[in-house]
């Protein structure tokens, strides 16, 4: 009985909907706004009509002007990145000194004093602890600088204007102007960049922003780029130009990343994402002076700590795996050596080597530990002096000493350039992959976002290697 009546209501609503036609939504929206206008007319009074040229409008005129808009934007972005990279140096080395050079030996001494078996000691302290300590030392300081700066700009209201200024460029590649911001956020951390895509409310453009965020060189990769560029690119030019040359190489890689971001955005919007709904709207909110300390505090709690925690959760098992593969023997070779020799051929084709590929496989959880892993593995397979033992990641204090180890591992300028390219174009770290899955709730798009960049990395390094060998 009840059910029959309900079905009657539903079919009645169908009939009525047909009678009203497709104007329903328009009429309803207009009706509501008409009510709103009536209410406002009686209850709101604007006393000063002449105050049209608000402060907001004057600021907007400048930062969206043809002449000043772009220079201001680039200046701010450059300043934020510069503050992050330079400002993070000192606390980073302090943290490294504390966690790696003081706490680590202390832990080792403690372990041996209580007679811990060597494998447990190695697994826990050299593996898990070291990886976690490394991630904290490299990741925490830049994020603790980058995110608050970014959040201050956000709270002030500047970021929507950046999206406004740049939207046309992004539209050409089928993306949304707000992607400029998620991309910039990716320069800090891709996982945070992926979370930030929530501000894009059009499904198609949001997926594009998520999948292409990995092309922003993140915090964990800047140090790798800078180190390798300093050792190899800086060395090919006269001494006085070496810092300029290595700096331009790093910036070149970052710009190449932006280029790939546009290219892939365009390709995605024309192919697999063609059918996703696409809408556009961008509100330019009024400027509000940020409350400085509150902003710093909340951005540390909300962004930095959460991202760092996720990274630690993923880095710990990676440390364990790195230690295990270097210490578990299959026949007369460690698993690491065995993996390296089996990947050497493929690595050579890409202008890389087995060590690098193995390092990238075990370091999926965190880009921060790629260089220490490479150094450890290089020492392991070449048998040269240095390092701290099988499965113990290390870094050298001097850049030239690092260069010596790598050259002993057979590195050339080509290896260096291709490593820089591969560091840009490879799968996102597992923290980011996990975040992509949480944001899209789709296995399909997570797989696309993870596989696509690494395939591009293979193709690009392969082509560079062949052409290099042909002509140089």
State which of positions 200-239 bind another protein (CB under 8 A): 201, 204
Distance CA 71, CA 55 (A): 21
Pattern 67-86, another protein, x by CB under 8 A = --xx----------------
Distance CA 356, CA 361 (A): 9
Q: Please tell me the total number of residues recorded for the chain in this structure.
A: 472
Window contacting another protein (CB under 8 A); options: 14-22, 185-193, 221-229, 357-365: 14-22
* Residues forming a β-bridge with 333: 330
Tell me: does residue 301 bind another protein (CB under 8 A): yes
* DSSP H or E run through 416: helix 413-424
Measured from the CB atom, the residue of 57 and 443 that comes closer to another protein is 57
Tell me: does residue 10 bind another protein (CB under 8 A): yes
Which one of residues 94, 118, 243, 302 is an interface residue with another protein (CB under 8 A)?
302
* DSSP H or E run through 118: helix 118-121
Minimum distance of another protein from residue 25's CB (angstroms): 6
Tell me: does residue 62 bind another protein (CB under 8 A): no
Are 264 and 212 contacting, i.e. CB atoms less than 8 angstroms apart? Answer: yes
Are 300 and 147 contacting, i.e. CB atoms less than 8 angstroms apart? Answer: yes
Pattern 143-182, another protein, x by CB under 8 A = --------x--xxxx-xx---xxxxxx-x-----x-----
Pattern 328-347, another protein, x by CB under 8 A = -----------------x--
Pattern 409-428, another protein, x by CB under 8 A = --------------------
Distance CA 193, CA 197 (A): 7
Window contacting another protein (CB under 8 A); options: 63-71, 113-121, 249-257, 413-421: 63-71
CA 66 centroid distance within chain:
30
**Complete DSSP assignment for 174-224:** T--TTHHHHHHHHHH-HHHHHHHGGG--SHHHHHHHHHHGGGSPPTTTHHH
Distance CA 362, CA 369 (A): 9
Residue 442 sits at φ, ψ, to 5 deg, of: -140, 125
Measured from the CB atom, the residue of 49 and 385 that comes closer to another protein is 49
Window contacting another protein (CB under 8 A); options: 23-31, 110-118, 237-245, 391-399: 23-31
Window contacting another protein (CB under 8 A); options: 49-57, 219-227, 239-247, 251-259: 49-57
Q: Does the CA dihedral 353-316-133-300 come out positive or negative? A: positive
Residues 106-135 that bind another protein (CB under 8 A): none
Measured from the CB atom, the residue of 99 and 152 that comes closer to another protein is 152
Pattern 260-289, another protein, x by CB under 8 A = -----------x--xxxxxxxxxxxxxxx-
């Amino acid at each position: 009985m009840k059910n029959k009546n309900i079905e009657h209501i539903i079919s009645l609503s169908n009939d009525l909907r047909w009678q009203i036609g497709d104007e329903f939504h328009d009429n309803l929206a207009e009706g509501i706004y008409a009510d709103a206008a009536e209410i406002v007319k009686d209850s709101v009074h604007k006393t000063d009509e002449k105050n049209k040229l608000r402060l907001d409008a004057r600021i907007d005129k400048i930062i969206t002007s043809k002449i000043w808009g772009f220079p201001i934007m680039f200046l701010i972005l450059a300043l934020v990145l510069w503050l992050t990279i330079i400002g993070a140096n000192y606390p980073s080395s302090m943290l490294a000194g504390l966690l790696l050079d003081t706490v680590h030996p202390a832990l080792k001494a403690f372990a041996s004093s209580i007679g811990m078996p060597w494998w447990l000691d190695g697994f826990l302290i050299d593996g898990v602890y070291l990886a976690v300590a490394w991630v904290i030392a490299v990741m925490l300081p830049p994020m603790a600088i980058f995110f608050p700066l970014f959040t201050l700009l956000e709270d002030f209201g500047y970021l929507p204007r950046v999206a406004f200024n740049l939207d046309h460029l992004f539209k050409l590649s089928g993306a949304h102007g707000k992607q400029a911001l998620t991309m910039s956020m990716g320069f800090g951390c891709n996982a945070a960049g992926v979370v930030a895509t929530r501000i894009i409310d059009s499904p198609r453009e949001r997926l594009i922003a998520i999948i292409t965020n990995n092309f922003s060189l993140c915090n964990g990769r800047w140090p790798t780029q800078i180190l390798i560029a300093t050792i190899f690119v800086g060395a090919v030019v006269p001494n006085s130009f070496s810092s300029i040359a290595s700096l331009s190489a790093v910036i070149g890689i970052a710009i190449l990343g932006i280029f790939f971001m546009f290219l892939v955005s365009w390709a995605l919007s024309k192919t697999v994402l063609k059918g996703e709904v696409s809408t556009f709207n961008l509100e330019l909110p009024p400027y509000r002076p940020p409350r400085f300390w509150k902003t710093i505090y909340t951005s540390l709690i909300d962004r930095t700590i959460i991202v760092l925690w996720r990274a630690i959760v993923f880095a710990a098992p990676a440390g364990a795996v790195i230690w295990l593969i270097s210490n578990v023997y299959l026949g007369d070779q460690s698993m690491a050596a065995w993996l390296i020799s089996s990947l050497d051929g493929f690595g050579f084709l890409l202008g890389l080597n087995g060590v690098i590929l193995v390092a990238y496989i075990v370091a999926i959880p965190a880009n921060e530990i790629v260089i220490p892993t490479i150094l450890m593995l290089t020492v392991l397979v070449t048998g040269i002096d240095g390092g701290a033992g099988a499965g113990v990641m290390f870094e050298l204090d001097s850049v030239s000493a690092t260069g010596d180890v790598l050259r002993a591992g057979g590195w050339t300028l080509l290896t260096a350039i291709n490593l820089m390219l591969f560091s840009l174009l490879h799968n996102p770290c597992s923290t980011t992959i996990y975040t992509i899955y949480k944001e899209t709730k789709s296995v399909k798009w997570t797989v696309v976002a993870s596989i696509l960049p690494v395939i591009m990395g293979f193709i690009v390094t392969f082509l560079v290697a062949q052409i290099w060998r042909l002509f140089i």
